[in-house]
Amino acid sequence: EVANRLKQYDVLVVIGIGGSYLGTKAGLHFLETPFKQTKPEILFAGHNMSSNYMVELLKYIQDKNVAVNVISKSGTTTEPAIAFRLIMDQLKERYSKEDLQSRIVATTDQARGALYQLSKTEGYDQFVIPDDVGGRYSVLSPVGLLPLAVAGYDINKMLQGAQKAYQDASISDLSKNVSYRYAVLRYMLYQQGKKIEMLASYEPNMQYVNEWWKQLFGESEGKEYKGLFISSALFSTDLHSLGQYIQEGERHLFETIIHIDTPTKDIEIQKQDSDLDGLNYLAGKTLSYVNTKAEEGTLLAHQEGQVPNIVLHLENVSEASFGYMMYFFEIACAMSAYLIDINPFDQPGVESYKKHMFQLLGKPGY
């Protein structure tokens, strides 16, 4: 009901940072049709503190019909709190209090916190971030599902995909439990001296899945001076930049490749009489075939260069596949952390920079 109401607006601004931003961004980018204009347009704020970004965002939305989904358990996380304040300053000049009640949706704690209190006082619709779900694990909660539903995607299929991943991860036979096998392989490579894992794919729609994955594993494992350093690449683009290092640089990394088995669309390369570009040997082949052979050739080259590769297969680009992939990595991440005796559900180190930043800003109590 709320998602359908928000679809009437020109723009939905999703305000959040970390898991309150990356999961939704990953889903939108993974599922979207390139170059297609959508309504409502989903924009993001509160994921940085760039003055230029905020000024341009406010300028862009000033003559548009705007709704906001603000996401924060506490309501006091600096980046989204500043963004919400600045955006609301504009919206309060444009809309009545009653109108804002239909435009603003808060995804927050169920009973406490500044955002909970504000939304309760102002009469904004609220969705709950479960107490036992941290931000980086929250994409399949209202944090990610609401904006993805507003964008027109079938969130029931996402949850069905996640349910399938849960069932597959419940198999006690390790040879059939791909999620746990992935966790164990990462652990074994780490024990053998590999210190960096690079997640790579040959589809550009994986860009923000990569970014979400880096937060998931980086925040979950990187504690007590342990854990793999997490990096990512998009091939074949990054083969023309990082490829040299991967092939012949320090032997301290391994790659995890996500291979999408079925492309959403394809195109055939046609024969030309002149063949000036020397590509007639590819005539009759599809572009996805060439892309797959680039992947296979790179895999062979990197193995020759002593870079171990883990290949994970994703059936297709769909809501169900997105849900499956998110849950697959979440449970693999938890198991990976437990294998190195780390709690995967806290992030104490994140508070260090905040303490120094608040001191420099003169925040009371710091």
Domains 2-153 and 156-339 share a fold: yes
What is the DSSP code string of 78-123? Answer: HHHHHHHHHHHHHHHHHS-HHHHHHHEEEEE-SS-SHHHHHHHHHT
Q: How far apart are CA 279 and CA 284, in angstroms?
A: 11
The DSSP output letter for 200 is E
Half-sphere exposure of 247 (CA within 13 A, CB side): 12
Whole-angstrom Cα distance, residue 366 to residue 358?
6
Per-residue pLDDT reduced to its tens digit, 41-73: 999 999 999 999 999 999 999 999 999 999 999
Under the banding of pLDDT at 50, 70 and 90, the label for residue 351 is confident
- Per the annotation, the verdict on 221 as an active-site residue is no
Active site residue 252: no
Options 3.40.50.10320, 3.40.50.2300, 1.20.20.10, 3.40.50.10490; CATH for 2-153 is: 3.40.50.10490
| pLDDT for the residue numbered 196 | 98
**Other C-beta atoms lying within 10 Å of the C-beta of residue 340:** 17
354 is catalytic: yes
CATH of domain 156-339: 3.40.50.10490
pLDDT band at 38 (very low <50, low <70, confident <90, very high): confident
Of the candidates 240, 250, 304, 351, the residue annotated as catalytic is: 240
**Residue spans per domain, the chain:** 2-153, 156-339
Instruction: Kindly name the residue from 219, 255, 295, 330 that is annotated as catalytic.
Output: 219
* 231 token code pair: 């990096």
pTM of the model: 0.95
Active-site entry in 354, 355, 356, 363: 354
pLDDT in tens, 199-217: 999 999 999 999 999 999 9
Q: Are 329 and 136 in contact (CB under 8 A)?
A: no
H helices of the chain, in order, are 2-6, 19-31, 51-61, 78-94, 97-103, 114-122, 142-150, 155-169, 178-191, 207-221, 243-248, 287-304, 319-339, 350-361
